[in-house]
Structure 1
Amino acid sequence: MSSITAAGDRAATKVTNTKVIQPAWVRVVHWVNAVAIVLMIMSGWQIYNASPLFNFTFSSSITLGGWLGGGIMWHLAAMWLLVINGLVYLTLGMVTGRFRKKLLPISAKGVLDDTKAAVTGKLSHADLSTYNQVQRLLYTGIIVVGILIVLSGLAIWKPVQLQYLTALFGGYDTARYVHFFMMAAIVGFLVIHVALALIVPKSLRAMIIGR
């Protein structure tokens, strides 16, 4: 009887280990997005240095482009990659029902409970196929941030042609601040995202091989 039970446990473990956590399309858009965002951030810092909003600039060692013109060229190239990839992600996320299944529902109590569990080291990471409330809030928030950074970027890029969009942000100067703070939010998200991937390495494995 014990041998049968052991065999059953091994079979159950095998099924769990081969369960598809991240489908192929999610993995592709995730890594394309990662490349595009890094290029956008580094080239954006190069552009920022040409006309700083605050009393600091970014080190040339972490910028891309070498000069203002080079930074703009890299930024625009990466922008199209990010926008096209983002539209694919949003479309498939809605069509496949992934957003509804993964990101909803979100409640204040759920977020507080999961935050408390995470801080005390009691938050379970056994089932990677289900996001906890904190993850749902962060992933939903970063989608909103992504939309805002693209729209504010367009308002800065084409302030005359897209004057109504620029006006919606309160003008060109305000759009620059919105763009900067959305960039800061993305950088903060990336730091947390990478840290969690290192803490729970099986989540990184799932994003590479899907299982």
Structure 2
Amino acid sequence: MSVQAIATRTERTAVIHPVWVRIAHWINAVAILVMIGSGWQIYDASPLFGFTFPRQIALGQWLGGALQWHFAAMWVLVVNGLVYVTLGFVTGRFRRKLLPISPGAVLADTKAALTFKLSHEDLSHYNAVQKLLYAGILLVGAVIVLSGLAIWKPVQFQELTALFGGYDVARYVHFACMAAIVGFLVVHVSLALLVPKSLRAMVAGK
């Protein structure tokens, strides 16, 4: 067997994403989609800007129904997210996958991506752009949960609400985080479609 054949076979059998990562990933995916759709319906009841989301892409049909979907998905997302983040730190996966991140590497990989020269051969390692995006989305996830709590219980969590600058500002922060997550999902799904083996790895782990 040639060296190249051995390397190819090793790549196919090597575990890229352990079981807990795959389970948490797909639970998060469903919960986030439910929260975005129901969040759009909640937004439509009291818009922040001069537009509303079409009912065809919103979830819940009305404010009460949207709130029920939103809170149900919220608990799933929070519990699953806590498990994912805890295991990410305990197993050292975050340290191995997301660090280090240097500005020079991010700029170089961004240039390579824009010129379609960024390699996706080794799925076991993230490039600098992926590291930045994944680390950033974890931070956005924390902020959107905290701002959501500030909106949900502004009296009970008045210190948290005040930290965001008040109820109204917390709503804008929450919306901005939602927009960032939607943008991340667009890029994430697009790359998965462009590099199908990355999707297979998140399903099969190898």
Q: CA deviation at 1:8?
A: 4.4
Tell me the residue number matched to 2:29: 34
Gaps of 5+ in 2: none
**Normalising to structure 1: TM-score of the pair?**
0.96
Match in the other structure for 2:48: 53
One of 146, 158, 176 as aligned partner of 1:163: 158
TM-score (norm 2): 0.98
Which SS does the other structure have where 1:124 is aligned?
A: coil
* Paired letter, 2:119: S
**Structure 1 Cα separation of the partners of residues 13 and 82 of structure 2:** 29
Task: Decide which moves more: 10-19 or 116-125.
Answer: 10-19
Q: Which residue of 2 aligns with 1:148?
A: 143
Q: Does 1:172 align with 2:195?
A: no
CA deviation vs aligned residue, 1:30-65 (integer Å, no higher than 9, x gap): 000000000000000010000000000000001111
Partner Cα distance (1:162, 1:8) in 2: 60
Question: In structure 2, what is the Cα distance between the partners aligned to 1:138 and 1:11?
Answer: 32
Structure of greater Rg? 1
Cα distance between partner residues in 2 of 1:197 and 1:12: 23
Q: Distance in 1 between matches of 2:42 and 2:203?
A: 33
Give the stretch that moved more between structures: 12-21 or 104-113: 12-21
- 2:87 equivalent among 69, 83, 92: 92
The structural deviation recorded for 1:12 is 2.9
- Return the letter of the residue paired with 1:150: V
In 2, the alpha carbon distance for the partners of 1:9 and 1:185 equals 41
Cα distance 1:113–1:7, how it changes in 2: closer, same or farther (>3 A)? Answer: closer
Q: Is structure 2 residue 193 aligned with structure 1 residue 198?
A: yes
Q: CA RMSD in A?
A: 0.8
3-state DSSP class of the match of 2:56?
A: helix
Q: Tell me, in whole angstroms, the C-alpha distance in 2 between the residues paired with 1:113 and 1:186.
A: 24
Structure 1 CA distance, aligned partners of 2:11 and 2:183? 32
Question: 1:106 and 2:101 equivalent?
Answer: yes
Alignment of 1:114-125 (within 5 A): 114-125=109-120
User: Take 2:187 and 2:38, find their aligned partners in 1: how far apart are those partners?
Assistant: 22
1:18 aligns with 2:7: no
> Deviations for 1:84-141, whole angstroms, at most 9, x for unmatched residues?
0110011000000000000000010000000111111211111100000000000000
**2:120 partner amino acid:** H
CA distance in 2, matches of 1:52, 1:16: 49
List structure 1 segments (4+ residues) > 6 angstroms apart after TM superposition. none
